[in-house]
Structure 1
Amino acid sequence: MEQVNSAIGGTTTVEVKVQPDHIQRIAEGKSAVQAVAEMIWNALDGDASTVEVKIVTNDLTGIEEIQVIDDGHGIPYDLALTSFENLGASWKKGQTSEEGRRLHGQTGQGRFCAYSLGALVRWKTRYRKEDRVYAYEITGTDFDPKKFKISPRVISKNKNTGTEVIINNPRKTLRSLLADDAFLRFTEVFALYLRQYPSVKIRYNGRLLDPGAVQVHVVEYDLEPATFQDGRTIQGKLTIIEWKHKVERELVFCDGAGFALHSIPPGIQARGFDFTAYLKTDYFRELHDNRLLVLEELLPDSVKLVEAAKDTMRAHFRRRLAEDARNIVDQWKADEIYPYEGQPRNIVEQVERQVFDVVALNVNEYLPEFSASDLKSKKFSLHMLKAAIEKSPAEARRIIQHVLELPKEKQEELSALLEKTSLEAIINASKLIIDRLEFLTGLEVILFSYEGKNKLKERQHLHRIIAENTWIFGEEFHLSVDDQSLTEVLRKHLAILDKDRTELAPVKTLEGGTGIVDLMLSKKIPQPRRDQIEHLVIELKRPSQDITSEVTTQIEKYAFAVAEDERFKGTPTRWIFWAVSNDMDKHTRRKTTNQKNRPDGILHEAEDQNITIWVKTWAQIIEACRARLAFFQEGLNYMATQDAGLSYVQELYSKYLPDELKAERAGE
């Protein structure tokens, strides 16, 4: 950069030592709204408490002049001489204003954006030095954008500081500044700043920017920390603002102070919501200063932050949809038009209402005539819909089609399910899934709580509960043997094969013992020639008993007794043995993990004998059950709480529980 002191009329000319086409690219890279926003940011960086933008039009409603007026500290004369000759090294970088505000400008390019608005730009500024206020003017033209003329400073009669940017000879492409949504676009841009500094006032063509007046909902989230390739851990913040008006949805990249640097489409579905999401981290300032921010899709670290933001946005709008649905139903109840009274008496009634709510909320969303109708009409329609769903699918179709007049695709969608099955079947299926989710949660409580872990016994308590819920080991199994000897295991095995089982000699372990099997589950697997049988033999241990060498030896004895007894041989049968408890000791864990060519948990495997022995923890079994139920759980949008799960187990299996767990239910 170089400074040229001109003697003409006492005016100083500063020249930016850069090619004119570079300045032109800076100017052309901004839209009209973005360029005016840069002028406002410059005013705010000067500690302005009030900024006013005026779009002056002529008689033909064309733009004559643009003014950006602020009451900030002005531009000190010495600072103008240096800052207007610099490009890419702004004095603002890393600084705060005199009043402690974070500064937006970092690269010294903002003033050149004015050239995208007009060919002639003037900065009339007043600043205070000691006890005097000085005034002077800076002028630039796009004819020679490298040069700025700075007039001599004079003592100002106006004792208030501030700067007025006046842009003349406007471009022909500025109609967007007069569009109806221009005011809203500026509101979106400065929403975070005005939330952080509520005393600041910005007016656009006489209208005060007030984000609160046009916002529906505002929330801020701390994202999960992301570990970058260079080892840094970065935690971004995400602010989501939902608007009352239509907006172009954006995910805005901001620095840590909330200054917008770049934006992309949000990349999520959020039906019915108009929003802007602001992703804040100083990492984006680094990318912006190095001109890498526009390449965010190619940078793995940026992708991590964006994906975390998308996950958070999806979760947010799922919650908001649920809230909106609840609000609608609550309003129906307040208006006394909801066709149910009081609380559901049981889970069946609860699911029945949920089915009704789903149908009714779809009607409310897709049928404007319904949502706009009076309370009497709504009440009639809701009661008709309730009766139709309960009566028959055909009746529901007639009500939906002729009374509520849903769009055709929604008629088919809502009626198809009711035509394929009955409402009773839907409710029963939903209840079965909910019961199982509550059982799994209740089982966790009694297995891992202090009372359960220390008081629960395998045969007296746990065994009896599990025997009635063998589905946790797989839907295809049925209970064959419950707490009986290996000889009874043989008897059941032969019965499945339709073989003679009279006068059976006892089955002995290698040491001569009889052995008692906790549970044996069996299933048939259809094959082209003859069915294959699969037996699952389970050895349960109380929660306080880890799986130790003693336990694994016991299950191995049972398995080897089967392997050595010739009466079990020569049949298409696969034997699987599980030892199950809350945990295992270090020796067993080391023995059954990180085995070459074997999954974790296998203790012994003999392909020639069709025998496999596993050690399993309850956490693994419960997690596998939840995985099988996850799809249905998501569809029902149901999460079993610990209280609900424990109550379910206590209600159904109280006779099998130790007194400590029974007393907890009774509140003793």
Structure 2
Amino acid sequence: MRRVHLEAAEDHVQRLAREGDPLGAVKELVWNALDADANLVEVVLHRSPLGAVERVTVRDDGTGMAPEALAAAFDRIGGSWKKWTAGTLLKQRTLHGSNGQGRLRAYALGDHIRWTTVADGVGGRSRTEVYAHAGARNDFLIGDSEPTRAATGTVVEAWGKQSPRLDRLPLRAHHRRLTAELAPYLTAYPEVTVVYDGVPVDPGTSIRHTAVYPLPVDDARLKVVEWSAAVDRELLLCDGNGIPVASVDAGIRAPGFAFTAYVLWAPMADHVGDVHLGDAYDSAVTVLLGVAREQLRAHFRDRTDDRRRELLERWRAEGSYPPMLGDEREQETFDQVATTVHRHLPRRAAQRRATLALLREALRARPERALLDEVFTLTDDERAQLDKLFARASYPDRARRD
């Protein structure tokens, strides 16, 4: 057994581990597996009898780590072999990581970490274990390699940390966040399967709408994916192949839409450091973010109009849409209000018809957002949207109308 010492200050290692972000650690380990040409990656969350997550395992069928490469993989931060190659070693897939920090992120999942890896090396195929403990973060114990006929791949196990953050890993929201990040990669390489807590990560089952727009900066593109379930609204900064290198807040309001936006730009990895300097820093990335957000706003203006038309057509086809008694402007206001609060309407057509008729009469008598607050449980986005709507609306004189 050999002890490999990481030449870095221990507090620096602890910062790089980002122990408050266990899902980020899972993502990093999944990306490491994909960078090792894995076709199957499984994330297993082991629970205690009381339901707490007490161990996390990430298992892959990739190429593993050869014995002669292990010391170099664990004795430094940075200097990853990934910097010197354009793609994965066997299948030439797009690479994700290049900073050599992925192994440190596992400390967010446990105080004890064990890598068990099977790989082909100069002496043939062998199995090797590497062990680390949070009490000595800079030290990695590399066991003796043993010949094996087992399939290549790596298993990373982390255990011994009691944290409520770990107990949140099984949430569906985390599965959706992983899906959003991996979507471009899994679309590009459909032969790859990622399973999270027993459920395959399949973007195709969750995508409602997709659009791609060219951006006026060095062949950059914006890809917008709308999801059928709620996700964190993020703007992922990706290389030209859609592999994320950083993320920022989407920076726009799009009420009623669950989406992820991807800025695809070939040199992104070389400029990603500019993101952390803030929007006030003048760089190619900040310019790119500005035009991407403008395109996002235009996209959702069009999508909001599309959604309104679809809803109104459906209501008319099923007979739910009430006859209008006022002028064209009043009808337009009713259409916008009704489609804004559509999530709160009854599901059955007969009940929806009655509710829309009552809403029409209520708006004719009292066209203001406070009325809707009394009837529906509105979200902040819906309130903001309705406030803008009523500020623009202009009803005809009631005395003349009545």
Tell me whether the two structures share a fold, i.e. TM-score over 0.5: yes
Deviations 1:244-276 (A, max 9, x none): 222221222223332323222222121111212
Instruction: Give the structure 2 partner of residue 108 of structure 1.
Output: 100
* Distance in 1 separating the partners of 2:81 and 2:147: 26
* Distance in 2 separating the partners of 1:419 and 1:407: 24
Paired residue for 1:375, among 349, 353, 360?
349
Instruction: Give the structure 1 partner of residue 148 of structure 2.
Output: 156
Paired residue for 1:78, among 61, 68, 81?
68
State the secondary structure of the residue aligned to 1:327. helix
Structure 1 stretches lacking a partner, 5+ long: 1-10, 226-233, 341-350, 389-394, 425-668
Q: CA deviation at 1:199?
A: 1.5
Q: Which amino acid aligns with 1:300?
A: D
Paired residue for 2:16, among 9, 15, 26?
26
Aligned counterparts, 1:229-244, within 5 A: 234-244=218-228
Q: CA deviation at 1:195?
A: 1.6
* Distance in 2 separating the partners of 1:323 and 1:28: 42
Instruction: Give the structure 1 partner of residue 277 of structure 2.
Output: 295
Q: CA deviation at 1:397?
A: 2.3
Instruction: Give the structure 2 partner of residue 331 of structure 1.
Output: 314
* Distance in 2 separating the partners of 1:77 and 1:377: 68
Paired residue for 2:338, among 348, 351, 363?
363
* Distance in 2 separating the partners of 1:367 and 1:47: 46
Q: Does residue 184 of structure 2 align to residue 188 of structure 1?
A: no
Aligned counterparts, 1:62-73, within 5 A: 62-73=52-63
Q: 1:384·1:399 contact (CA, 8 Å) conserved in 2?
A: no
Q: Which amino acid aligns with 2:117?
A: T
Paired residue for 2:364, among 387, 390, 397?
397
Superposition CA RMSD, Å: 3.2
* Distance in 2 separating the partners of 1:305 and 1:89: 29
Instruction: Give the structure 2 partner of residue 91 of structure 1.
Output: 81
State the secondary structure of the residue aligned to 1:118. coil
Instruction: Give the structure 2 partner of residue 601 of structure 1.
Output: none
**Which of these two proteins has the greater Rg computed from alpha carbons?**
1
CA spacing shift, 1:380–1:37, aligned 2, 3 Å = closer
State the secondary structure of the residue aligned to 1:108. coil
Q: 2:237·2:246 contact (CA, 8 Å) conserved in 1?
A: yes
Q: Which amino acid aligns with 1:316?
A: H
Instruction: Give the structure 2 partner of residue 147 of structure 1.
Output: 139
Deviations 1:325-379 (A, max 9, x none): 1111221233245568xxxxxxxxxx9667524413412433666x316434555
CA spacing shift, 1:374–1:267, aligned 2, 3 Å = same
TM-score by length of 1: 0.52
* Distance in 2 separating the partners of 1:415 and 1:16: 62
Deviations 1:546-595 (A, max 9, x none): xxxxxxxxxxxxxxxxxxxxxxxxxxxxxxxxxxxxxxxxxxxxxxxxxx
Q: 1:122·1:137 contact (CA, 8 Å) conserved in 2?
A: yes
CA spacing shift, 1:52–1:382, aligned 2, 3 Å = closer
Deviations 1:497-534 (A, max 9, x none): xxxxxxxxxxxxxxxxxxxxxxxxxxxxxxxxxxxxxx
Q: 1:360·1:382 contact (CA, 8 Å) conserved in 2?
A: no
Q: CA deviation at 1:213?
A: 1.6
Q: 1:120·1:167 contact (CA, 8 Å) conserved in 2?
A: yes
Instruction: Give the structure 2 partner of residue 515 of structure 1.
Output: none
Q: 2:177·2:232 contact (CA, 8 Å) conserved in 1?
A: no
Q: Does residue 26 of structure 2 align to residue 51 of structure 1?
A: no
Q: 2:13·2:104 contact (CA, 8 Å) conserved in 1?
A: yes
Aligned counterparts, 1:501-540, within 5 A: none
State the secondary structure of the residue aligned to 1:418. coil
Paired residue for 2:199, among 173, 185, 207?
207
Q: Which amino acid aligns with 2:255?
A: R
Q: 1:116·1:171 contact (CA, 8 Å) conserved in 2?
A: no
Q: CA deviation at 1:14?
A: 2.4
Q: Which amino acid aligns with 1:62?
A: A
State the secondary structure of the residue aligned to 1:272. coil
CA spacing shift, 1:423–1:361, aligned 2, 3 Å = farther
Instruction: Give the structure 2 partner of residue 525 of structure 1.
Output: none
CA spacing shift, 1:364–1:399, aligned 2, 3 Å = farther
CA spacing shift, 1:155–1:423, aligned 2, 3 Å = farther
Structure 2 stretches lacking a partner, 5+ long: 375-382
Paired residue for 2:257, among 261, 264, 273?
273
* Distance in 2 separating the partners of 1:249 and 1:364: 22
Instruction: Give the structure 2 partner of residue 248 of structure 1.
Output: 232
Identity %: 29
* Distance in 2 separating the partners of 1:67 and 1:171: 16
